């Protein structure tokens, strides 16, 4: 018996030594491979996982530190992916305007492949198919974001009033505004896609959509980690399988909804974005087989998934930052309300045309986006070719992130950590367009967000209506932490409470 135990002990010791030896070999090999493969400066990471452990607590802050140490362009490794971070306002703007095509692809991540087989709009290769697809999506957003089709302005006004009612239902008591903002943004994008509903928030399809979003957000992190650490999928088989089933089920739900809408489709009377998608499949004569550009009817009809993904969480998060800043800076809130009273007055209803008459209000929205860094890194890009940026050669296939947070916190912004809408206005109180463009809230170049117009209209009507009718206050004894948020699908503020009271006229 003692002999057997000695043998087992020896085997266990040998296994331990093997593991240690393997780790050392991987460490040395990884460092050697990186040394011969990279001429771009950057910090060393860990074997196998790269820099992921160093980014766990605060990627935004860590990337800012790397920028200060290594400059606008530096390299790291995210698991198995060699990665370049491009930072700084001038560098990011120059690359996205002059070399956009060189970074217009998406990496062939595991999750991306399963979401749309890399043939959607958001997660796709860069080719002729993508260019035509984006043109279609951008046209539909322009058509249905304003006043011409679908009654979007009325939808925004109704949702803004519902948001105000929800905020005031708390009777001035301290509460978390997250759910109210989430449902307002969700209802807007749902009706943008499927049309105005009498009681949209009570619609079974909408409630199912809201549940789907909650599930997706909870499960997305598992998919994200498996994208850069392929070997970790062994330990998350069940969760990954659930994620993939959810993606497939959501896609089928959207296509089924579109199939029902097709029954009442009238090309002479377009009601909403899905009608616009159907009309474009007919215009381009798309079917099940790819056309000469590689585009199919399924690709176009599935664009609703891109609309939902791009126009929901970002708007919710921006509203949450805006409400936090209003509570934190009551003097700025009061200045916005004075502008609203002067321009809108007792009319009580905001219209999209009012935006041009409310520059300080719109400046506050852009300042919230700049300061918070709602989408600090955007979605991942992938180099389509070997490309030279500021003297550094970035190899084809390299994973690339554009540090949008650094764009909003560069030297061109005086006292960049202060919330100051006035920085966007000239001496006449008009918006300075160059400064607005410098925020890059919706990216730039080939991958510029096609939903920008809808998002800007939505944020304006929802936010301005709340301040026209309400006063937002910080609960007594409360301290906010606006410089540290939560990094998920977007960069959101830590959960906080506000008090909302009706504004006295």
CATH number for 199:
1.10.630.10
Handedness of CA 119, 124, 129, 133 (dihedral sign): positive
Answer for the pair 73, 86: CB distance below 8 angstroms, yes or no.
yes
H or E segment to which residue 86 belongs: strand 81-86
- Residue 176 is encoded by which pair of tokens? 């978390």
- For residue 2, being part of any structural domain is answered with no
Q: What is the pLDDT of residues 262-272, one digit of tens each?
A: 999 999 999 99
**Residue 393: which of 99, 89, 22 has the closest Cα?**
99
3-state secondary structure 216-253: HHHHHHHHHHHHHCHHHHHHHHHHHHHHHHHHHHHHHH
pLDDT at 191: 93
Q: What is the pLDDT of residues 207-255, one digit of tens each?
A: 888 887 777 776 666 557 788 888 888 887 888 888 888 888 888 889 8
- For residue 271, being part of any structural domain is answered with yes
- Greatest alpha-carbon span in the chain: 93
| 111 or 495: which leads in pLDDT | 495
pLDDT at 1 over 70: no
- For residue 20, being part of any structural domain is answered with no
**Residue 121: which of 108, 106, 107 has the closest Cα?**
106
For 310, the domain range is 38-502
Q: In Å, what is the CA distance from 219 to each residue of 59, 83, 115, 139?
A: 20, 24, 13, 32
The arithmetic mean of pLDDT across residues 395-424, rounded, is 94
Q: What is the pLDDT of residues 328-376, one digit of tens each?
A: 999 999 999 999 999 998 778 999 999 999 999 999 999 999 999 999 9
- Choose the weakest-confidence range: 208-222, 430-444, 490-504: 208-222
Answer for the pair 468, 500: CB distance below 8 angstroms, yes or no.
no
Phi then psi dihedrals of residue 445, to 5 deg: 75, -155
pLDDT at 301 over 80: yes
Q: How far apart are CA 104 and CA 169, in angstroms?
A: 46
Encode burial over 474-495: b for 16+ CB neighbours within 10 A, e otherwise. beeeeeeebeebebebbbbbee
Quickly tell me which residue has 């002729």 as its tokens: 128
Q: What is the number of structural domains in the chain?
A: 1
- For residue 316, being part of any structural domain is answered with yes
- For residue 197, being part of any structural domain is answered with yes
- pTM score, whole prediction: 0.90
Q: How far apart are CA 167 and CA 464, in angstroms?
A: 14
- For residue 387, being part of any structural domain is answered with yes
- Residue 272 is encoded by which pair of tokens? 């909403």
* Extended strands (E) in 361-413: 381-382, 387-389, 392-394, 399-402
pLDDT at 95: 95
- For residue 8, being part of any structural domain is answered with no
Q: How far apart are CA 316 and CA 336, in angstroms?
A: 20
Q: Fill in the DSSP letter of residue 418.
A: S
| pLDDT over 70 percentage in the chain | 90
Q: Fill in the DSSP letter of residue 352.
A: G
| 424 or 242: which leads in pLDDT | 424
- For residue 366, being part of any structural domain is answered with yes
């Amino acid at each position: 018996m003692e002999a057997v135990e000695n043998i087992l002990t020896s085997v266990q010791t040998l296994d331990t030594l093997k593991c240690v030896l393997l780790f050392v070999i991987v460490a040395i090999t990884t460092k050697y491979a990186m040394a011969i493969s990279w001429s771009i400066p950057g910090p060393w990471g860990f074997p196998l996982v790269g820099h992921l452990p160093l980014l766990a607590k605060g990627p935004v802050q860590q990337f800012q530190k790397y920028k200060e140490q290594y400059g606008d362009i530096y390299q790291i490794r995210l698991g198995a992916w060699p990665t370049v971070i491009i930072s700084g306002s001038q560098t990011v703007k120059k690359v996205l305007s002059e070399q956009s095509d060189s970074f217009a692809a998406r990496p062939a991540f595991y999750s991306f492949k399963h979401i749309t087989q890399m043939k959607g709009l958001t997660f796709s290769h860069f080719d002729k198919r993508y260019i035509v697809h984006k043109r279609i999506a951008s046209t539909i957003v322009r058509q249905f974001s304003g006043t011409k089709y679908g009654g979007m302005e009325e939808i925004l006004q109704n949702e803004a009033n519902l948001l105000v009612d929800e905020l005031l239902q708390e009777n001035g008591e301290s509460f978390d505004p997250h759910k109210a903002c989430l449902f307002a943004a969700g209802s807007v994008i749902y009706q943008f896609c499927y049309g105005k509903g009498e009681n949209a928030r009570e619609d079974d399809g909408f409630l199912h959509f809201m549940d789907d979003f909650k599930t997706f957000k909870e499960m997305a992190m598992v998919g994200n980690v498996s994208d850069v650490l392929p070997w970790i999928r062994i330990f998350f088989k069940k969760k990954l399988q659930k994620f993939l089933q959810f993606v497939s089920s959501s896609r089928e739900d959207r296509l089924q909804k579109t199939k029902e809408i097709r029954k009442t489709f009238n090309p002479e009377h377009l009601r909403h974005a899905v009608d616009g998608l159907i009309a474009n499949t007919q215009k381009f004569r798309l079917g099940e087989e790819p056309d000469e550009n590689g585009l199919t009817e399924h690709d176009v009809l599935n664009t609703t998934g891109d609309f939902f993904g791009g126009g929901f969480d970002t708007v919710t998060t921006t509203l949450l930052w805006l409400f936090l800043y209003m509570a934190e800076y009551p003097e700025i809130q009061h200045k916005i309300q004075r502008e609203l009273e002067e321009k809108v007055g007792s009319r009580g209803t905001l219209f999209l045309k009012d935006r041009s008459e409310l520059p300080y209000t719109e400046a506050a929205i852009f300042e919230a986006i700049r300061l918070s860094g709602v989408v600090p890194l955007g979605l991942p890009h992938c180099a389509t070719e070997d490309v030279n940026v500021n003297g550094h050669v970035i190899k084809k296939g390299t994973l690339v992130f554009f540090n949008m947070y650094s764009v909003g916190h560069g030297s061109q912004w005086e006292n960049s950590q202060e919330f100051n809408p006035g920085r966007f206005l000239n001496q006449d109180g008009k918006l300075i367009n160059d400064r607005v463009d410098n925020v890059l809230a919706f990216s730039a170049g080939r991958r510029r967000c096609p939903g920008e117009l809808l998002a800007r209209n939505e944020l304006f009507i929802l936010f301005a209506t709340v301040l026209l009718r309400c006063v937002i206050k910080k609960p007594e004894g409360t301290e906010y932490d606006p410089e540290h948020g939560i990094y998920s699908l977007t960069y959101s503020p830590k959960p906080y409470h506000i008090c909302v009271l009706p504004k006295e006229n």
